[in-house]
Structure 1
Amino acid sequence: MWCFLMNVAPVVIFKTLAESFYEATLLMVVYSRCNGTRDNITHNGMQSESAQFYLIYYIISYLVPLLPAMFLGNLADRSSYKILTVIPLLGYLLGRSFLLFTEIFELPIYVMFIGNTITGLCGGYPAYWTGISAITALRSTNNNRSVRLSSMDFTSGMAALLGSILSGHIFMVKNNHTGLPITVLCLTLYTLSVVYSAFIMKYPSVTGSEKKRLLPSPSEEKDMRAIFYLFAAANIFYLGMLGGENVISLFVLKPPLSWDAVWVGYGNAAANMMYFTSFLGVLIGSKYLSDTSLIHIGIVSNCAGMVMMASVNQTYLFFVARGVMMFSCVPLPTMRSQLSKVTDEASYGYTFAWMQSSTAFMSVISTIVFNSVYPITLEWYSGFCLLLSAGISLLSMLPTCFFHFRMKQIGYARISEE
């Protein structure tokens, strides 16, 4: 019983399931509202309006939490890591409640911007995942820390997979497909995550000596060139991958696929299945391949799948493309593992905070670029943004090669040797 109460996995499961239900419902509600804004609106018009909504929505999601997350992180170091779970999860509960109000009172869909801002002001995803990572790291040793941290990504991915499969079916229950049942279930799961993290879960205590060990040490000599290569590779790959994934969520709603909520759920499940296949890829491949080879396999897998996705005109081809992308989740965790090997352990928090901040900023750029280009290219080739995604992601192979050559000069241990 004590081990269960010390486990952070239930929080991850509750929150991820809730988020899967919320994202699927929001997508269908936004698309439905865009369909009802004007008479005789075309599918391309609905796609353009939806893209404009998500452009603003994602910018709020990525930018607003940055300063609150940094503040909560500093506050948690002085008091308790409970701050990094309870406050962000409470923000999710309050912010996501606006979707329920929007459906019940038929409010304009842009009211969701207010809810998203509330979630961001409470730290949002950056603060929440920082808390999960910090708690997991404190309960692990140097030898098993990579596995423990990876297990949280795996748990989140599997919960998202289950949520994606269920979301479409639950969305279609009663109320003329308005999404009220799944929204209520979503908020219930958020409530469970808040209650568990606030009153049930036991948090690790950090002694003064441990805090000193975990704090960044400016005097430590770092290989800044290697760190720069990893930051560049991670951000370039994330820029392309995220842009493509954001476009895919709209791409499947228009002809020739014209998916409903059930198929959207299956599509999201196929995307989340990549966490499982990527985990297996690293687990098995690390015994025989270098980290750089694993990263390149993941990059090529993602790019090949995006190129194939650009010409998808039947549902089964979508899932074939997702199959090609089975190792797309390998690069980023492997890059984080590489980063941990070129920085001192006492600087992990400081270094990873900068990594997360840089990828959050890159998320804003990706959203602006892809959600602006996508409506423009709908008339002549709707798959252009997916090709653009593949091209940008492929560029990330250059800094990984530079990093590989850099490590040959100073020596470097593979993941499998940890």
Structure 2
Amino acid sequence: MKAKSALLAILFASTMSGQTITVGVDVANPNSSDFNLGTVLTDISLDNPATAAGTISTVKFHYSGSGCSMAVKIKFFRRSGNTLTMLAEQGPFDTGAGGSTTVTLSPPVIVQQGDLIGITKLTNCGNPVGLSTSMTNGFVGFAGDVTGSVDLAAGTRGMFPLALFGSGTSFEFIGGILPVVGSVTGSFGSNFKTSLQLFNGVAGSQTLTGRFIFHRAGTSGSASDPSQGFTVAPGHVVSYPDIVAALGQATLGSIDVIIPTGQPMPVMVTRIFNDAGVNGTAGFTEDVINPAAAGFGSRVITTGTTGALVTPIDPTRTRFNIGVRTLSGGAQMLVKLLDSNGNIVTTVSKTYAANWFEQVDSTTFFGGAVSANQSILFNMNGGSAIIYGSTTDNVTNDPTVQFAQVVISP
């Protein structure tokens, strides 16, 4: 009975996740103003991008000036690489007494998962504020009333959260990510494919629907990338012998699994394998990863945490690749390669755009060859990412994968 109750609790939690959409940070006691970029300025929060696709109906913000008339606009932006493009704006709004103001957006603003919230100061009365004692992805500020597209690098970064928070109702969200999939020929005569099976619980449960979105390697993924819907009847299994080919692709990439709000994920069995024809296949099973996961042991490396990988036992017989799939906030990390005794061999800094995926050989990644039994530490200074190491036998083309897990967490 306890096991059944626990299972029901898990299913209920999965079903209820995504009902509410949030964007930005709800700061209770802000203690710092933003930067003095002029009478009119626009701050865009890079923390907590929209958690799902849906509508934002309410926004709460703190402001250093109370009772300022027609003082601010609320804006929403979509990020593509380092380009931030305004989607919608509402206001001007007055600021309330006591520094905290809550406004209702009419009509509610439609957003996609990963969109950002911003605030524009229009007068000399007060400034947006945040919490300077907390280091996060922060915000980026621009002089003027931003209405089009701006480059993230052209703004002024603040590495603390703005007191700017929106909430509303979601209608779909990313239930899981397959960080790497492929239908592609590789080195040493390899021919990699990705099979996928979906199982819908037990007979009598609801029909599960959703869609896969394929993001090609070497690009920032978007909602307009190649996609395909799925429907799994109660108790049924739906299979794809080569899910990448089913999406009309013949390359390496990653897949987002989009599901409606209020629906659980189907059970997913994903296998990446080398297809040697009459000589059979060799491969591994890849888990789908919840992008909302965080903390010690998580395979999502978030700001302020450190993830780890280990290099192969015998690099002369294998090839070792490193893959990085960022989430909607991009990623900035300091990567350390250590020998088997924990001494630093080399250090590299990496910056990746939002929803970016790439897989490169370890020599390219570090600018030099790795050795046996070394460790790799990924110190995430901003954003978040799923990181993996792929080891493939040079003779049999038998692939394996290890996902970096958080080993240091605040």
- Report the TM-score range of the alignment, normalised by the length of the smaller protein: under 0.3
What is the TM-score with the length of structure 2 in the denominator? 0.23
Larger radius of gyration: 2
What is the TM-score with the length of structure 1 in the denominator? 0.22
| Structure with greater strand share of residues | 2
Which one has more relative contact order, counting CA pairs under 8 Å at least 6 apart? 1
| Structure with greater helix share of residues | 1
